[in-house]
Structure 1
Amino acid sequence: MNRKLYKNVETLHATSLLVLILLSPRAHAIPTALDSLILQGKQQIYQMEFQAAEETFREARSEYPDYPHGYVYQAYITSLFFALDQANDSLARQLDTQVSAAMEVAKDYKSRFNDSAGSYFHLALANSIKALYHIIDRSYVKGYFSGRRAKSDLEKVVQLDSTYYDAYIGLGLFHYYADLLPGFIKFVAGILGFDGNRVKGKAEIHLTAARGKYFKIESEFLFYCIGYFLEGDKANAIRALKQMYRQYPTNQGLGLILAYHHRRSGYIQECMELCRRLLQEKDPGLPQVTDLKYYNLAVCHYDLNEFAKADSLLNVLSSLPTRKSLFYRAAIAYYKGHLADLRFEREAALSYYRQIPDHKQTQYWYGMSRALLKYPADSLLYQYFSGLNLLGSRQFGRSLQQARALKEALDAGKIAANPDMQFLAVSLLASNYYNQWQLARARSLYEEILPRLDKMEDRFRRAWIYIDYQRCLRELKEYKLAEAMLKKAEDADDDYTRIIIEREKFILKQLLAQEKQAKPAGRS
């Protein structure tokens, strides 16, 4: 199996881990006191009281050394921190030790209760942690086999006890994510036993949400996150996530998801207020949680065209004594370089852009920065980004005015440093008309540049123009043309854009199915 296939298939295992590990056994009765400790620890995790949860699971391990529960959940806590702090060698060693102990006890537990669904379930959890450890360590072959064993154990769980509802979330994750793998890799993954079925996977996740005992909260969270990020069902998802946040108000992870939603929806002040409030709360000890609060604030000021304030907050973020993930180091470098460019400080901009590596974890920022690295900012590019920010922060009148002025300047013969400027200007004006529901005018503008769009140098932004155009076509019920535009957008090579493309395809598929169902019988 080639290295790329291992990485794609094992992303499935890494995605599954953080929710799988919270499950508990049902089929084989466990001591009531142990069960109470596990449930207590889970509640502490929901409240992001990680130190208290670790102490609870340590007590479970000490009081019940022959049961794998305490070992597995204690390793889970470490794996959660390690996944967000991968440069921490001491955490890596600690996780390796803990997962080895969990595997040993889980195997022994299975040997004593071989016909128990719970024994196979704990092996699945331990193998999932082990897979995550190998993936982070870039040992993809080892990670693949650990993940495959986890899937096999989960299938054995429901074979032994089909009412073991807490197990279906794990299988649902495997089935759902495998369906999103790229074509050839999805085919090979199927041969290897990772069959994708998006509908089945989501139904399995919902089954745990509806009937699970130990994993109801996690499965509800996952179900609505899938709806939000992968299927475009934002209204229902946000309603449910807000309810969860009211239930667990100290869970800053939920708060940051809502802050992200506010920012991406253009409600910048709401995002800033929430992040400022989170900064006043107790630090949960997860470095990326702290980083995200400052990051969101910095990007909010950028979105409001308050570039000096954004730059200042990025400096604060950079100076925090937290280990930054590779993704966020690249994000900081992008915005620092971009802001320097908008100040026309070209050498400073280049020094930051060159810090962004061509790496799987940084594909998004690498793609965003390549055209900016090649061509310096000028007054026209400044006007474009400023107008784009006005649109994104719901200042529609000002954005439209700026977009019109930009296109008029280019049509009058003003020369831009960036040869893609005409495409960018037209797409900005078209996006403004789309947001004002002037769909015909938006379509006309997109069609103005469409014959030449494949010549646009910036692959990243070209893909997003195709995505935006297909949204316009979708609203006009031009579904087949919209599908063709998404096909063109697939030239993008970062995972985030690919996820968005898959989401847009899903929405189109749903609309096509509704249209077909609405047609009277006998009509084509």
Structure 2
Amino acid sequence: MKASILILIVSLQMTVIAQVNRRSESYAPLSEELALQGIREMYNFQFDESRESFEQFTALNPNHPAGYFYQVVLDWFTFRMFKEDKDIWGEMREELDRVVIIAEGQLKMYPDDALSMVYLGAARGLKARIALSKNDFIDTFYDGYAGYSIIQEAMRINPTMIDPQIGLGIFHYFIAISSPMIRSLSYIAGISSSKEKAIDEITVVSEHGIYASIEARSFLMFIYAYIEDEYSKALVLSRGLAKEFDQSPYFHGKLADILLLNGEIEEARQHLELIPKLVVGLPDKYRMEMKNRVQYLQAESLRREGKPEEALELFKGLADLYTLEFKFNLGYIYLRTGMAYDEMGERKEAKKQYKKAVKLDNYTSAVRLSKLYLKEAYMRD
């Protein structure tokens, strides 16, 4: 239950890239192009180039929160590769406070500045994420709900904005798949949505957004692959992202996983072979995470080929090496290790793995399938 509430609140962190209004006079000429360039460089793991683009944007627009917010997002993206999670958030708090102060200053002068509201709301969403890392659930709720409300007000003032809808859509999606109690509490707070409507909201951003299109496509890829079990839809999105951001080990890793879900083993292996080359020069922490990820996917490819014994040799020990704060991928390590044990007829060991996955209590199919296989052993088709 706690996981449901927290994911619901901090889903607002996904509103990390707001829309620049093309008719706005708040920005110097060419600023929008710099912002978009920096965003694309960030997703393509060109971090030095991205920082330079965002710094130029900020220099041209020193009194607007946008550039400062972009730099916070880049710091978040890169800090997670260099540092342990517990060390990240203190270094970001002052940067986020600066975004909030600048945005609030703009709104004092221009109360109906919807764009500054969007950045203020997004900053509050990230502050909620920091509070969550410290198990400060009161501030998590306070900042998360504040961020949601601020972005809603911005959309009321300027309903033509597209990109900010991603945060609302993601928030609505997690409400829709939450427990009845969470949905009831959300309804009392004036928040309600169906899953289909939420996906439609995010799809609009993925197809028509300027700055949040990439994040919207990435989110849809995730839910189609790991929650909705619509693997063909996930594959279309994943292929596009890996092609567009061909220097990103993250997108190649996701594509390999989703190819395996679609039964495309050989093509998945081609993308796995790229990853060691793409992580050269990246921090040791991230390279180790990707090394473990590649090993996991290699194990899964062997299991899908009908070689559970060989797969199990690679699966063993991976869960102990898992360091990421959120445990979505960990659930799949447990699930697929359990499936390999079941294929070998080692039911007792399989059930141990499924129980570990179920204990994570998240929305993914790893938990749902583990519950199923606890009742009835997995059998290959």
TM-score, reference length from structure 1 = 0.60
Could you say which residue in structure 1 is the equivalent of 2:374? none
* Partner secondary structure for residue 172 of structure 2: helix
Contact kept? 2:232, 2:262, Cα under 8 Å: no
Structure 2: how far apart are the matches of 1:84 and 1:93?
16
Letter in structure 2 aligned against 1:25: V
Give the Cα–Cα distance (whole angstroms) in 2 for the partners of residues 268 and 124 of structure 1: 42
Distance in 2 of aligned mates of 1:463 and 1:74 = 38
Q: Deviations over 1:284-327 (max 9, x none)?
A: 74667523432244232473433697389969x96xxxx93367
Q: Give the distance between the partners of 2:352 and 2:314, measured in 1 at CA.
A: 27
Q: Which residue of 1 aligns with 2:235?
A: 238
Q: What is the alpha-carbon distance in structure 2 between the residues aligned to residue 43 and residue 168 of structure 1?
A: 20
Shift of the alpha carbon at 1:163? 0.9
Distance 1:143 1:81, change over 3 A: farther
After superposition, the CA RMSD in angstroms is 3.8
Counterpart Cα distance in 1 of 2:316 and 2:219: 35
CA–CA separation in structure 2 for the residues paired with 1:63 and 1:132 = 29
After superposition, the Cα gap between the structure-2 partners of 1:261 and 1:160, relative to the gap in structure 1 and judged at 3 Å, is same
Question: Residue 4 of structure 2 corresponds to which residue in structure 1?
Answer: 8
User: C-alpha displacement at 1:282, in angstroms?
Assistant: 4.5
- The answer to whether residue 136 in structure 2 is matched with residue 132 in structure 1 is no
Corresponding residue number in structure 2 for 1:325: 324
Provide Cα deviations, 1:245-278, integer angstroms capped at 9, x if missing partner: 2222112211010111234455555434322221
Shift of residue 91, structure 1, vs aligned partner: 3.0
Which residue among 310, 314, 317 is the counterpart of 1:310?
314
Which of residues 362, 365, 372 in structure 2 aligns to 1:500? 365
Which amino acid letter does the alignment assign opposite residue 99 of structure 1? L
Report deviation, 1:196. 3.9
Which deviations, in whole Å up to 9, do the C-alpha atoms of 1:118-137 show, x marking residues without a partner? 12111111111111111112
* Aligned equivalents of 2:364, 2:244: Cα separation in 1: 30
1:354-503 correspondence runs (5 A): 364=331, 385=340, 388=343, 458=351, 461=354, 492-496=358-362, 498-500=363-365
In the alignment, the residues of structure 1 paired with residue 215 and residue 331 of structure 2 have an alpha-carbon distance, to the nearest angstrom, of 28
CA distance in 1, matches of 2:82, 2:193: 30
Matches within 5 A, 1:210-249: 210-249=207-246
For the residues of structure 1 that align with 2:316 and 2:147, how far apart are their CA atoms?
A: 46
Check whether the contact 1:169–1:204 (CA below 8 A) recurs between aligned residues: yes
1:47 match: 44
Question: Which residue does the alignment assign to 2:195?
Answer: 198
Q: CA deviation at 1:84?
A: 6.2
- Inter-CA distance 500–52: structure 2 relative to 1 (3 Å threshold): same
What does residue 144 of structure 2 align with?
Answer: 147
CA distance in 2, matches of 1:233, 1:307: 25
Q: Is the 8 A contact 2:16 2:122 kept in 1?
A: yes
- Give the total of aligned pairs: 360
Question: Tell me, what secondary structure is at the counterpart of 2:30?
Answer: helix
2:115 matches 1:115: no
Instruction: Quote the offset at 1:111 in angstroms.
Output: 1.6
Letter in 1 for 2:18: L
The residue aligned with 2:373 is none
Structure 1 unaligned spans of 5+: 328-359, 373-380, 389-401, 407-415, 425-457, 465-491, 505-524
- Between structure 1 and structure 2, the one with the greater Rg is 1
Counterpart secondary structure, 2:18: coil
Could you tell me whether the CA contact under 8 Å between 1:326 and 1:361 is conserved in 2?
no
User: 2: distance between equivalents of 1:98 and 1:213?
Assistant: 25
Partner SS, residue 214 of structure 1? coil
Match of 2:18 in 1: 23
Q: Does the 8 Å CA contact 1:66/1:105 hold for their aligned counterparts?
A: yes
**Structure 2: distance between partners of 1:365 and 1:111:** 48
Which residue of the partner structure matches residue 175 of structure 2?
Answer: 178
Which aligned pairs between 1:56-135 and structure 2 lie closer than 5 A?
56-82=53-79, 87-88=84-85, 90-135=87-132
- Structure 2 distance, partners of 1:306, 1:363, is 20
Identity among equivalent positions (%) equals 16
Evaluate the alpha carbon distance shift between residue 187 and residue 270 of structure 1 in structure 2; reply closer, same or farther with a 3 A threshold.
same
Contact kept, 8 Å, 2:235 with 2:259, in 1: the verdict is: no
With CA pairs under 8 Å and 6+ residues apart, which has the higher RCO, 1 or 2?
Answer: 2
* Cα distance between partner residues in 1 of 2:155 and 2:325: 38
Q: Aligned equivalents of 2:368 and 2:160: distance in 1? A: 32
- Out of 17, 32, 35, which is 1:35 matched to? 32
**2: CA distance, partners of 1:281 / 1:312:** 25
In structure 2, the partner of 1:508 is none
Q: 1:171-207 CA distances to partner (integer Å, 9 max, x unpaired)?
A: 1111111111122233223323443421221111122
SS of the counterpart of 1:165? coil
Paired with 2:281 and 2:24, the residues of 1 have a C-alpha distance of 34
> 1:64 Cα deviation (Å)?
2.4
Q: Deviations over 1:13-56 (max 9, x none)?
A: 43342x41122331643222332321121121121212321232
1:368 CA drift (Å): 6.8
Q: 1:206 to 1:232 in 2, by over 3 A?
A: same
TM-score (norm 2): 0.79
Cα distance change on mapping 1:264 and 1:8 into 2, 3 Å? same
1:208 aligns with 2:205: yes
TM-superposed deviation, 1:164: 0.8
Cα distance in 1 between the residues matched to 2:189 and 2:65: 29
Aligned residue type for 2:185? V
> Any unmatched runs of 5+ in structure 2?
370-381
1:224, 1:237 within 8 Å by CA — same for their partners in 2? Answer: yes
Counterparts of 2:66 and 2:290, CA distance in 1? 33
Give me the whole-angstrom Cα distance separating, in 1, the residues matched to 2:325 and 2:356.
Answer: 24
